[in-house]
Amino acid sequence: MFLLSGIILLTACSKTPVEPNYDQHALAPLSVEFDNIVGGQKLVLNTGTYTNALGQPYTIQLLQYFISNIQVKKADGTTYAVNPDSSYFLIRQDDPASKFARVKVPEGNYTSLTFTVGVDSLRSTMDISKRTGVLDPGAGGHDGMYWGWNSGYIFFKMEGTAPDAPADPTGQHKFRYHIGGFGGYNAPTINNIKVITVDLTARGMAQVRKDRAANIHLMVDVSKALNGTTNVNFATNPQVMFSDYSMNIANNYATMFVHDHTEN
C-alpha cells in the first residue's frame, strides 16, 4: 500500500521526463570520489596546519559527512535516481575507502550529478529496522553521526584544534562543528539539508558502460566550511551544534564541491 502510494506520488510530482523501468541487474558501475583538501593543500589529519580566512591557525582531527540520494542527468534532460536503499554514504577522512560513493546507474553519458549533503527527512524518520549500515543510529562512539537526545543525524562533523579556541575543561583548545537538522519532525526547525548539483560538461562527462568504471572526481575544499559568506571565528564560535548559527556553516560548506575531472 505504501509502495503503491509512493509510486503514484513519484510520478505525480516528478517534473523531469519519466524514466523507463530499468533492469536493476543490467546497471553499470559509477563512483563519485570525494577528495577532501584544505585550500590548495592536502588534508592531513592531526598534523597538517592550516589558516582560516580570519588568519587563525588550526588543525583538523576528524572530518566526516553524509552524502545521499545520488542522481545523474543526461544531456537530453533525463535523470536517473539511484535506488534510495543503496544511496547513503558516510565519507570519513580517516578511512580512505570511504571516499568513494559507489552506485549503479544505466549505461549512458551523464552531464550532471546531483546529491544531498546530509540525510533527507524521510530516511531520518523511517522505522529503525530500515536504518542500517552508516544510517544505524547506534553506530559509532564519539565519532558517531547521530544525536540521541534530539533524534536526527549529524550531517557534517569537523573537529580539530585552534589556539584561538578557548580551552575546554580538559585544557584543550578544540573546535567542534556538528551540523545537522532535517527540518523537524512535527514542529518546523532548522533545515540544513543541502542538495548539490555539479555540472560535468566542462571537466568531462561520465561515460558509464558496463565494462568500465567511470569515476567522477570531486575536489572538496573543506576550508570552505569555515570561510565564505560567514567567516567562522574559533574564538567566538568554538562549538557549533544544533543552533541557528549552524546554518551559516551549512551554507558555507554547500559551496565546497568542485568537479575536477572524470576517469572513464
Site residues (vs other proteins, CB under 8 A): 1-2, 5-6, 9-10, 13-14, 16, 69, 71, 79, 81, 120-122, 125, 127-129, 131-132, 136-141, 144, 146, 148-151, 183-191, 193, 195, 242-244
Smallest distance from other proteins to CB 252, Å? 19
d(CA 186, CA 197): 29
Cα 139 from chain centre:
18
Measured from the CB atom, is 73 or 259 closer to other proteins?
73
Q: Least separation, in Å, of the C-beta of 111 and other proteins? A: 17
Instruction: Please give the distance of CA 175 from its chain centroid, rounded to a whole number.
Output: 20
The smaller minimum CB distance to other proteins, of residues 43 and 190, is found at 190
**Which residues fall within 8 angstroms of residue 28, CB to CB, at 6 or more apart?**
104, 105, 106, 107, 208, 209, 210, 212, 214
User: To the nearest whole angstrom, how small is the minimum distance from the Cβ of residue 192 to other proteins?
Assistant: 12
Tell me how far, at minimum, the Cβ of 263 lies from other proteins, in Å: 27
Nearer to other proteins, 67 or 162 (CB): 67
Contact 102, 34 (CB under 8 A): no
Residue 71 or 227: which CB sits closer to other proteins?
71
Task: Please report how close the Cβ of residue 139 comes to other proteins at its closest, in angstroms.
Answer: 6
**What is the DSSP track for 72-103?**
EEETTS-EEEPPGGG-EEEEETT-GGGGEEEE
C-alpha cell at 17: 521526463
Whose CA is closest to 68, among 87, 90, 91?
87
Quick one: CA torsion of 139, 144, 149, 150, rounded to 10 degrees?
-100
20/141 with CB nearer other proteins: 141
Which DSSP helix (H) or strand (E) runs through 117?
strand 108-117
- Give me the least distance between CB of 151 and other proteins, in Å please: 5
Nearer CB in complex with other proteins: 41/197: 197
Beta bridge partners of 59: 161
